[in-house]
Structure 1
Amino acid sequence: MEKLLSNGAGYRTVPERFIFPLEKRPGKEVNLSITLPVINLRGGEVNGVDHDEIVKEIMEAGKAFGFFQVVNHGVAEQVINDMIVVSEDFFKMPMEDKAPYYSEDSSKTNRLLASTMYGKDGTFYWRDCLKLACYPVEEGIHEWPEKPSNLKDVLAKFIVEVRGVAMKLLKLICDGLGLKEDYFEGDLSGGQVLINANYYAPCPDPSLTLGLPPHCDRNLITLLVQGVVSGLQINHKGSWIGIEPIPNAFVVNFGHQLEIISNGVLKSVEHRAVTNSSVSRTSVATFIMPAMDSLIAPAQPLIGENNPPLYKSFLFKDFLSVYYDVAGKREGVLEAYKFQS
């Protein structure tokens, strides 16, 4: 519990456990000339010419970046702002109020954690995180924190609306891939909907550590609210590009499962979170997960004589152990599941 950065220790130097080996530090090689595509969803209701144009934009962004931002998506600005504010309020609570939710047991779905260690190198990352299973709401709400007093109401509204945006995006992606629009319904999107409310404290020396390591997401699709402070970077053609926050936007990225199901048409791209020395940063990520027993494989309509499957089939629950063994690294996952040419 004393490891929580949100407890306000106010470090003057970076503690040893957070300092990366030199070759893994963030560096300064960030490409400032490239910006992420921004897609206007026209209020979340897209038909006709608009529909076709949006599908085209999503597919182009997915192939080029594996990431894009969406605006005019139908979720009210108040709903998004309330979620960021209640997350900030949670991390600002006194240590004794956060204590009931803190756990170092990684098998627990609902917990507050500090300074996660990724991989086997013993380095910790500069982040506190509140992880919660959120959907269906009635199945998880009894395990959500009681404080702040409005957290349950805010999260219940937020998660239903954000999941709705994710499902609309998946239908648009189906159109772009030439699949039936309900292809991702059922087991492929029927697992838990998880949120990570992330808190990154001001860091005395951001050159020594990271808030999150380079990784790809394990799930199907992710929607991130960045807040007002930048920190997300994605790997694009071998260099890191920073994603500037846009008010009331979601940053969308594809997880490993979507790359595999699309047979490599869409990409799951490595990304990371950097720290800064002046202000704290709070973000909220929503993860759409397959059911644990769902079979993941390249979609049959995308496979043909001239387009063989690139990936082996597997159960999602078996994938997770491989994913954690390689700490989410893209190449490690591909080596496990890609057919060798």
Structure 2
Amino acid sequence: MKELKDSKWFDVEFVPKDYVFSKEYGPRNLDSPVCDSIPVIDLSKANGHIDPVEAILSASQEFGFFQVINHGIPENKVSDAMSVLKEFFDMPSKETHTKGWIYTNSTDYAKDGVHLWRENLKHPCHPIEDCIHLWPENPTRYQEVISAYLVEIQKLSLRILEMICEGLGLKGGYFEDMSEVQLLSSNIYPPCPDPNLTLGILPHQDPSLITVLYQGDSTGLQVMKDGQWVNVGAIPNAFVVNIGNQLEIISNGRLKSIKHRVVNNTRDTRLSIATFVNPSPDCIIEPAKVLVNEMEPSRYTPKQYKEYVQYNNAFGDYTVAIQNALRSEN
């Protein structure tokens, strides 16, 4: 075990130089209005709403992002997960299991010598019974609470993927054997004295099939739309879902994996839980055969998922480390 002492690095009057990003990355447009065009989809089909399958497919094609409500996950499972993660980040020191989970504070995450304004906890999730012992042991209820949360996320993600399957015209259950909630990445973004200078997360696309994010009532998530960064508003008890690179490939480009980032603010702390629904490491990722024809030839070269993440360094080093850790435990 390695213990990381975590001082209140963010309790400063001015942003330290090594947290200041260049204009190439800097937010600059923090005052843009909350985007009300990111679709909010009611999964219950209640109250005469548009059919969820049609709505999800349309949102995935145009935006690559949508929010879901009436999703069926009990509020207490979500609030418990957020609570225990807040407890974790509030601990004055953290013990890091070098074979299982990774905690990084702001000084450990950087680009070109500049640090992100956040703290991060990352660990594997699949299969839960095989990797739960690799998760944090403190707070003491962490493993119980997070495992219960992940069971619900797995059900929701399969439900959404099945809707996408239907919308694309794929055979039912197409994603069932290739989608796993493999990774949890939770972030906390403390208040920042000058958010125009910093970033919580750099612009990126996700290497997943889909990513399911809970952000509570916290704002800060921004999505690239028509060349502009727009804010994604926080809707109570909603989940943000975005299309990852692998699903864009499988759909042969019909669905879009969109750049997104997180910006900071001066007043509030943002806490979020991202769960990455990925293919298994050995799965061959390629456009679905029924979506390829003379008019729509394949746009992508078949590749194993583990080759993709290693080549693109999208959690690649961490994915390999986790695979090796789980092999050594068996």
The TM-score bracket by the shorter chain reads 0.7 to 0.9
Find 1:156's aligned residue among 122, 129, 147.
147
Larger strand percent: 2
The whole-number CA distance in structure 2 between the counterparts of 1:176 and 1:124 is 41
Find 2:85's aligned residue among 84, 87, 108.
87
* 1:102–1:113 Cα contact (<8 Å) kept: no
Q: Please provide the CA RMSD for this pair.
A: 2.3
| TM-score, normalisation: structure 1 | 0.85
Written as runs of structure 1 = structure 2, the 5 A alignment for 1:170-185 is 170-185=161-176
- Partner of residue 196, structure 1: 185
Find 1:36's aligned residue among 35, 38, 43.
38
Written as runs of structure 1 = structure 2, the 5 A alignment for 1:6-21 is 7=8, 9-21=10-22
- Partner of residue 276, structure 1: 265
- Which deviations, in whole Å up to 9, do the C-alpha atoms of 1:245-292 show, x marking residues without a partner? 111110000110000000000000000000011121110001111111
The whole-number CA distance in structure 1 between the counterparts of 2:315 and 2:188 is 24
- Which deviations, in whole Å up to 9, do the C-alpha atoms of 1:13-64 show, x marking residues without a partner? 212221111222111163545431111111xxx79x98x8111000111111
The whole-number CA distance in structure 1 between the counterparts of 2:20 and 2:219 is 21
The whole-number CA distance in structure 1 between the counterparts of 2:136 and 2:41 is 34
* 1:3–1:114 Cα contact (<8 Å) kept: no
Report the 3-state secondary structure (helix = DSSP H, G, I; strand = E; otherwise coil) of the residue aligned with 1:22: coil
The whole-number CA distance in structure 2 between the counterparts of 1:227 and 1:70 is 13
Report the 3-state secondary structure (helix = DSSP H, G, I; strand = E; otherwise coil) of the residue aligned with 2:125: strand
- Which deviations, in whole Å up to 9, do the C-alpha atoms of 1:96-154 show, x marking residues without a partner? xx1x1276xxxx552111235465x2322111111121232211111111111221111
Greater shift, 233-242 or 20-29, is seen at: 20-29
Q: Which amino acid aligns with 1:85?
A: S
The whole-number CA distance in structure 2 between the counterparts of 1:102 and 1:277 is 33
Instruction: Structure 1: give runs of 5+ residues left out of the alignment.
Output: 328-341
Structure 1 residue 238: Cα displacement:
0.6
The whole-number CA distance in structure 1 between the counterparts of 2:9 and 2:110 is 23
The whole-number CA distance in structure 2 between the counterparts of 1:289 and 1:4 is 31
- Partner of residue 65, structure 1: 63
* 2:97–2:136 Cα contact (<8 Å) kept: no
The whole-number CA distance in structure 1 between the counterparts of 2:205 and 2:237 is 24
Q: Which amino acid aligns with 1:37?
A: P
Cα 1:272/1:102, change in 2 over 3 Å: farther
Written as runs of structure 1 = structure 2, the 5 A alignment for 1:199-218 is 199-218=188-207
The whole-number CA distance in structure 1 between the counterparts of 2:159 and 2:294 is 31
Cα 1:55/1:73, change in 2 over 3 Å: same
The answer on 1:239 being equivalent to 2:241 is no
- Which deviations, in whole Å up to 9, do the C-alpha atoms of 1:195-223 show, x marking residues without a partner? 11111111111011100000000111111
Q: Which amino acid aligns with 2:26?
A: R
Find 2:115's aligned residue among 109, 121, 124.
124
Cα 1:179/1:41, change in 2 over 3 Å: same
Percent of aligned pairs sharing the same letter:
41
The whole-number CA distance in structure 1 between the counterparts of 2:273 and 2:118 is 13
Report the 3-state secondary structure (helix = DSSP H, G, I; strand = E; otherwise coil) of the residue aligned with 2:290: helix
Aligned pair count reads 311
Find 2:125's aligned residue among 134, 146, 149.
134
Q: Which amino acid aligns with 1:219?
A: S
- Which deviations, in whole Å up to 9, do the C-alpha atoms of 1:130-188 show, x marking residues without a partner? 112123221111111111122111101100001110001000000000001211122x3
- Partner of residue 26, structure 1: 27
Structure 1 residue 318: Cα displacement:
1.2
Written as runs of structure 1 = structure 2, the 5 A alignment for 1:256-271 is 256-271=245-260
Structure 1 residue 84: Cα displacement:
0.9
Q: Which amino acid aligns with 1:61?
A: A
The answer on 1:78 being equivalent to 2:76 is yes
The whole-number CA distance in structure 1 between the counterparts of 2:314 and 2:152 is 33
* 1:133–1:140 Cα contact (<8 Å) kept: yes
- Partner of residue 167, structure 1: 158
- Partner of residue 101, structure 1: 96
* 2:35–2:232 Cα contact (<8 Å) kept: no
Structure 1 residue 326: Cα displacement:
12
The whole-number CA distance in structure 2 between the counterparts of 1:110 and 1:134 is 10
- Partner of residue 324, structure 2: none
Find 2:286's aligned residue among 297, 301, 306.
297
Instruction: Structure 2: give runs of 5+ residues left out of the alignment.
Output: 317-330
The whole-number CA distance in structure 2 between the counterparts of 1:308 and 1:40 is 34
The whole-number CA distance in structure 2 between the counterparts of 1:282 and 1:314 is 34
Report the 3-state secondary structure (helix = DSSP H, G, I; strand = E; otherwise coil) of the residue aligned with 1:24: coil
* 1:135–1:160 Cα contact (<8 Å) kept: no
* 2:36–2:232 Cα contact (<8 Å) kept: no
The whole-number CA distance in structure 2 between the counterparts of 1:133 and 1:182 is 24
